[in-house]
Amino acid sequence: MRKAIDARGIHALDHVDFGAPAKDDAALTAQALRFAAALGRGATDPTKLYEVYTVPRPAPDIKAGLAAALRAGDLTAWLEGLAPQDANYRKLSVAYRKLQRQPDAPAAAIVTTGEAIEPGGTDPRIPSIARELVILEYLDAGLAQGDRYTPDMVAAVRRMQADYAMKPDGIIGSEALAILNMSDVDRSRAIAVAMERLRWLERTPPATRIDVNLAAARLTYWRDGKIVDSRKVIVGEPDTETPQLGSPIFRLVANPTWTVPRSIQKKEIAGKGAGYLRANNMVWKDGWIVQQPGPKNSLGLVKFDMQNDHAIYLHDTPAKPIFAMVQRQRSHGCVRVEDALGFAEMLATDAGLLDQWHAARATGKETFVKLPRQIPVRMLYQTVLFDDAGEPIVRNDPYGWDDRVGAALGFKAGRALRVESGAVDVGP
């Protein structure tokens, strides 16, 4: 047991204090239960770290498991089996241990001394800067060439500067480098947080499900244990974050109406007058502003109705250009789906409801199509992704949500850079 706890860096838990070496069996048993619980469901409790967290979590019987492991005389196998067993968790573990073999306080990845880099100039730091721009999805990999600051890179830097509320002048100075520069300490912390978030998740999730990564603003559709679709989404902006929910889709809504929430009505519509309502096909109904079905409706032409207490759901949008943005934290909390009609066709086909769905759309009126089997949806938050070679890459933390997890795991505060996106329309 002591050997396992001493080797807890395998799980990026080396900053967590599980207590001094126990001096008797009772104390060692208590220590073993704490460590096993950390592996089995996380060293932290997301329901205490976040106001809303309803994603299904594992619930291993730690006491019974420890007793069985002692009877079998194989404590090591039991402990190893508690942590996630998937390939991504193992890759994160390897990456974390590799970083721990680096110096304790490594220099920044990109040297910050020297003059600012002007468009068209050359600088030995350009290849490292280009790599970070590619990781953050501001620059296509094929456009990262040599040590010259090319027009393509300038355009990428300007987009990044705009997302972080900087002057989009394309000059790479200290502010821009603060976003691009990530030390090994920063990467270690991000990977440790990512591993902890994986420990929060049930070990055998539903084989057919939809996962939405709020940090990356992407949706992944799993069918029978395999990924069959992945597409961009637009999620809540940093001040109206989409919560981490576990909530199923139970029906498709063709030609939806939208009842404007009081918060949006008061903040963004109040005082605009009858002309604005007519132009946006909105009417007053029972004291609420309701937007009628049609191409201007903020929910677009399809809504994926979900069961939760937070009025969060997936839907279409007429604001298609937002999908071309890198930072897609732009909504008031709901999740807008790229090519939502195509996605609805896919779900309807899989459910054997395609004809019924087409008939519902043809009505031009709000029409509900109930799914024979609900599709579980998990709203997750992962800032570490994997490149084409399967290697972990650390992305930005748009909500700043990694901070509280990292602190709970014993890490010092990380970089406090948050996206400054701002919702671009009144939609949910």
How many C-beta atoms surround the C-beta of residue 146 within 10 A? 10
Q: What three-state secondary structure class fits 357?
A: helix
Q: Using an 8 Å Cβ cutoff, are 69 and 78 in contact?
A: yes
- Rounded distance between C-alpha atoms, residue 127 and residue 148, angstroms: 9
pLDDT over 70 percentage in the chain: 96
Q: What is the pLDDT of residues 156-200, one digit of tens each?
A: 999 998 888 788 999 999 889 888 887 888 889 999 999 999 999
Tens-digit pLDDT profile for residues 62-102: 999 999 999 999 999 999 999 999 999 999 999 999 988 76
Give the tens place of pLDDT for each residue, 23-71. 888 888 999 999 999 999 999 999 999 999 999 999 999 999 999 999 9
Phi, psi of 264 (to 5 degrees): -70, -40
Residue 316: which H helix or E strand, with range?
A: none
Contact status, residue 291 vs residue 297, Cβ threshold 8 Å = yes
Q: List pLDDT tens digits, range 101-142.
A: 765 544 456 877 778 999 999 999 999 999 889 988 899 988
Span 146-168, pLDDT tens digits: 899 999 999 999 999 888 878 89
- Percent of residues, the chain, with pLDDT higher than 90: 72
Cα–Cα distance for residue pair 381/186, rounded to 1 Å: 17
| Residues with catalytic roles | 315, 334
Amino acid identity for residue 381 in this structure: Y
* Residue 423 scores a pLDDT above 70: no
- Please name the residue that has the structure tokens 């309807």: 348
Quickly count helices (H) and strands (E) in the chain. 15, 15
pLDDT in tens, 209-254: 999 999 999 999 999 999 999 999 999 998 899 999 999 999 999 9
